[in-house]
Amino acid sequence: MKQNRREFIKATSILTAASIGGFSSKAFATNIINKKGTKMKLTFKPYTLELKHTFTVAVSSRTTTPVMLTEIEYDGIKGYGEASMPPYLGESQETATKFLSKVNLEQFDDPFELENILEYIDSIDEKNTAAKASVDIALHDLVGKLIGKPWYKIWGFDKSKTPFTTFTIGIDKPDIVRQKVKEAEEFKILKVKMGKENDREMIETIRSVTDKPLTADANQGWKDKHYALEIIHYLSENNVVYIEQPMPKEMVDENAWLTKNSPIPVLGDESIQRLSDLIKMKDVYSGVVVKLMKCTGMREAHKMITLAKSLGMKVMLGCMTETSCAISAASQLSPIVDWADLDGALLIKNDPFDGMKVIDGKVTLNDNPGIGLSV
Ligand code: MG
Residue positions counted in the chain: 375
Structure confidence by residue, pLDDT tens digits, 16-65: 333 444 443 333 333 344 556 789 999 999 999 999 877 766 666 788 99
pLDDT computed for residue 276 by the predictor: 97
Kindly give the distance from the C-alpha atom of residue 150 to the centroid of ligand 1, in angstroms, as a whole number.
27
Cα–Cα distance measured from residue 78 to residue 101, given in angstroms and rounded to the nearest whole number: 19
Kindly give the distance from the C-alpha atom of residue 247 to the centroid of ligand 1, in angstroms, as a whole number.
11
Q: Which of 36-45, 258-267, 278-287 has the lowest mean pLDDT?
A: 36-45
The reply to whether 153-364 shares the fold of 41-148 is: no
Backbone angles phi and psi of 364, in degrees to 5: -120, 110
pLDDT(258) > 80 = yes
Cα–Cα distance measured from residue 95 to residue 253, given in angstroms and rounded to the nearest whole number: 34
CB 330 within 8 A of CB 165: no
Task: Say which residues have a Cβ less than 8 Å from residue 199's Cβ, sequence separation at least 6.
Answer: 231
pLDDT computed for residue 61 by the predictor: 75
Kindly give the distance from the C-alpha atom of residue 218 to the centroid of ligand 1, in angstroms, as a whole number.
7
Task: Say which residues have a Cβ less than 8 Å from residue 350's Cβ, sequence separation at least 6.
Answer: 49, 50
* Residue 21 DSSP one-character state: S
Kindly give the distance from the C-alpha atom of residue 269 to the centroid of ligand 1, in angstroms, as a whole number.
5
pLDDT(14) > 60 = no
* Average pLDDT estimate for 87-112: 95
**Percent over 90 (pLDDT), the chain:** 81
In the chain, the amino acid numbered 92 is: S
The arrangement of strands across the sheet holding 287-290 comes to: 166-169, 189-193, 214-217, 240-244, 266-268, 287-290, 314-317, 339-340
Helices (H), 44-125: 93-101, 114-124
pLDDT(171) > 90 = no
Structure confidence by residue, pLDDT tens digits, 347-363: 899 999 999 999 999 99
Count other Cβ atoms within 10 Å, centred on residue 58.
Answer: 16
Kindly give the distance from the C-alpha atom of residue 77 to the centroid of ligand 1, in angstroms, as a whole number.
35
Kindly give the distance from the C-alpha atom of residue 169 to the centroid of ligand 1, in angstroms, as a whole number.
12
* Average pLDDT estimate for 330-344: 96
Kindly give the distance from the C-alpha atom of residue 245 to the centroid of ligand 1, in angstroms, as a whole number.
6
Kindly give the distance from the C-alpha atom of residue 79 to the centroid of ligand 1, in angstroms, as a whole number.
28
Kindly give the distance from the C-alpha atom of residue 344 to the centroid of ligand 1, in angstroms, as a whole number.
13
Mean pLDDT of the chain: 90
Kindly give the distance from the C-alpha atom of residue 270 to the centroid of ligand 1, in angstroms, as a whole number.
7
Pairing of strands 61-74, 339-340: unpaired
pLDDT band at residue 187 under the 50/70/90 scheme:
very high
- Smallest CA-to-CA distance from 167 within 362, 22, 369 is with 362
* Average pLDDT estimate for 181-187: 93
Kindly give the distance from the C-alpha atom of residue 107 to the centroid of ligand 1, in angstroms, as a whole number.
37
Sign of CA dihedral 220, 225, 227, 230: positive
Kindly give the distance from the C-alpha atom of residue 320 to the centroid of ligand 1, in angstroms, as a whole number.
9
CB 276 within 8 A of CB 295: no
- Smallest CA-to-CA distance from 282 within 305, 245, 311, 257 is with 311
* Average pLDDT estimate for 243-251: 98
pLDDT(180) > 80 = yes
Kindly give the distance from the C-alpha atom of residue 136 to the centroid of ligand 1, in angstroms, as a whole number.
22
Structure confidence by residue, pLDDT tens digits, 102-160: 999 999 999 999 999 999 999 999 999 999 999 999 999 999 999 999 999 999 999 99
What residues does each domain of the chain span? 2-33, 41-148, 153-364
Q: Determine whether domain 41-148 maps to CATH 3.30.390.10.
A: yes
Kindly give the distance from the C-alpha atom of residue 165 to the centroid of ligand 1, in angstroms, as a whole number.
14
CATH of range 153-364; options 1.20.140.70, 3.20.20.120, 3.10.20.30, 3.40.47.10: 3.20.20.120
Cα–Cα distance measured from residue 203 to residue 186, given in angstroms and rounded to the nearest whole number: 19
The separation between the first and the last C-alpha atoms of the chain, rounded to the nearest angstrom, is 36
Kindly give the distance from the C-alpha atom of residue 264 to the centroid of ligand 1, in angstroms, as a whole number.
16
